[in-house]
Structure 1
Amino acid sequence: MSGQWGKKVKYSIFGESHGRGIGITIDGLPPGIKLDMDFINSEMQRRAPGRDEFSTKRKEGDKVEILSGYFNGYTTGTPLCGVIFNENQNSKDYDKLKDLARPGHADYTGKVKYSGFNDYRGGGHFSGRITAPLVFAGAIAKQILLDKGIKIGSHILSIGNIYDSYFDGVNINRKTLTDILKKDFPVLDDLKGEEMKNIILKAKEETDSVGGIIEATILNLPCGLGEPFFDSIESTLAQLLFSVPAVKGVEFGMGFEITKIRGSQANDVPYIDKIDVSTKTNNNGGINGGISNGMPIVFRVAMKPTPSIAKLQNTIDMASYENSQVMIKGRHDPCIVLRALPVIEACAAMSILDFI
């Protein structure tokens, strides 16, 4: 069924980009979890638009109002529902576009899927705005995991053809993730970050957009979580990651690069470190047989360039069924990668929480 995910903790997402509001219902949270609303709000602000010159000028507070499942500062154990009321829509921007299939969007597929009854404004239920409730759910999951010592973080690995340094899959620690989180532009190498900024601004100046790669990690995950085959760490996490509209690729550990080396190099050799089992390398990203092996989980996601660009493009008129042209006006991100970091982390937290 559309808009639902999870086995032990179940999530149901709802809303449209230009509707009254968007939100998520979380069923399966135990009672008595104290929610840190300051932390939740800070996570929401990481994703919120209008913060800098690298994102859309549209202002959305992304303030979550909890409607149920929360009382006197604690979860009650009943379904928790959080809603974000939409405040700053320019729906008139889409009136002239309702019959034009915007390239790279779900306008045509959505119209076919829902027999033309879908809300087309701002992409409706297909909009990247619907990732805001994911961040809310992820912030709650992060809190629960952090109490168990499990830390999740990410950085911008690339924008266009400019690459940051990779995470050290063996020695990465919580301090690295904490330091990155303090940065307005979260990269390991600030000089590379400046080059990335220039690429984004150049695309913006040319009324175009640019994509990139996010690298994320999950620290201190105990060995033994996950199931082989259909409920593996990879398959479960990948399912959530691919639910994010802009994600076009996911890889774990060395990912596709592991195809370029031999098995003798690719194998992560285990050894005893006092009483713990570790590996000298982490080419497999902390996962063997779909099960966590105790090393950091490391994965990457490829984010496509924002499809909403103010360039004249060829398309089709879905009403007349003729070829046409479209130029998308409005307030759009020249690069979605920066705002997507908390979304990717949220997916990781929700996935791992279901195993916990």
Structure 2
Amino acid sequence: MEWLKWFVGATTDPKFAVVAKRSGQNMASVIAVWAMLLERAGQADERGRIDGFDCEGADTVLGLEDGAACSIMQAMQAKGLIDGGCITNWDKRQRREEPEAVKERKRLQREREKLAAELATLEKARAEVLAASRNVTPCHAESHDVTDVTHKRREDKKEEIQGGGYNAGARDAHPMPGTPPEQFRGEPDGLNSADSGSAVLVQPFSEPPATVSSMPKRTDCPSKGNPQWQCFLSCWQVYPVKQGQEAAWREWMRLHGNGTLAEPYVIRDAIILLAQEDSRWQRGKVPNMAKWLNGKGWNDCPYVEPAASQGNVPRDGPPVARTQAQRNRQNLEGLAAFVRAAEQELTHGNTTAHIGRIGTHGHSLPAAN
């Protein structure tokens, strides 16, 4: 749909009064022809031009006398409103300037896109670090960059051990690559008296390498830096049940991703309305927000229990436990029924011996054999 500007005060502009006077037409006809000329200029390939304007058609549409539209156009050309088949100062008058609200909205959109790009970069870097940590093995944990000084110290210690009479073949039977020279100590360990002064190779204690299980687990819950988090939080704050926030946030982002999530103000208004008018919500029967979002509860109307016409009000849900007053009343009604039944038995000629066989509901029990 094409739009064009209509300036305030055009209907009272003295120029149109002059055009009406020169063309011999009334002011309303001049304003109507001017509006049709603006629409023609706005739809032209070269905006502002009015070539091919049908004056006869304008007379018919506006109900003017023949030639009225042409005389109005000639008066406008003489007044300077039309110049060279174009609306005068069309580009200046119809320049589209963005209001401050539109500029602010675009600025916020650019900031959100920039923030989303930064978050994506951080997530990518984090994924690369996790992938690299999963590939760490004990052989990778050992350092293979040994300096010349370390090699020299090992060779010296080896000569010292061999010079002390230690069996090199026994030592080679238990190779421990990567063992630093400081782990060799001259302490006998189960050797005979002849070898009591020999150095013994001790297996060094080393902590197990870090595994993936010791690292913090990554959840599938979206990041709280997402622009949708503030929208979700505004609805979470008014929801009656403050349980399952992570599940609700995950469901919110799922619906937002597939384009089925309503506007935040619609969801927030629906929650407030249900909390105030829904009889089930007022009794505490409020589902978790994740389940409510999954069922698109913002489309629900408040449920109002029907008024009781006769008897008790029908209710849904599990039966409610009787109070102590209700139990006492039931016991008294049973006792009163027992007394009435006893009076009827005595009235019909039965003796007091039959009273012991009267049931709690007023029926006589069969005599015992």
Task: Compare the two structures and name the one with the higher helix fraction.
Answer: 2
Regarding TM over 0.5, the answer is no
Rg larger in structure: 2
TM-score, length of structure 2 as denominator length: 0.17
Task: Compare the two structures and name the one with the higher strand fraction.
Answer: 1
Q: Higher relative contact order at CA 8 Å, sep ≥6: structure 1 or structure 2? A: 1
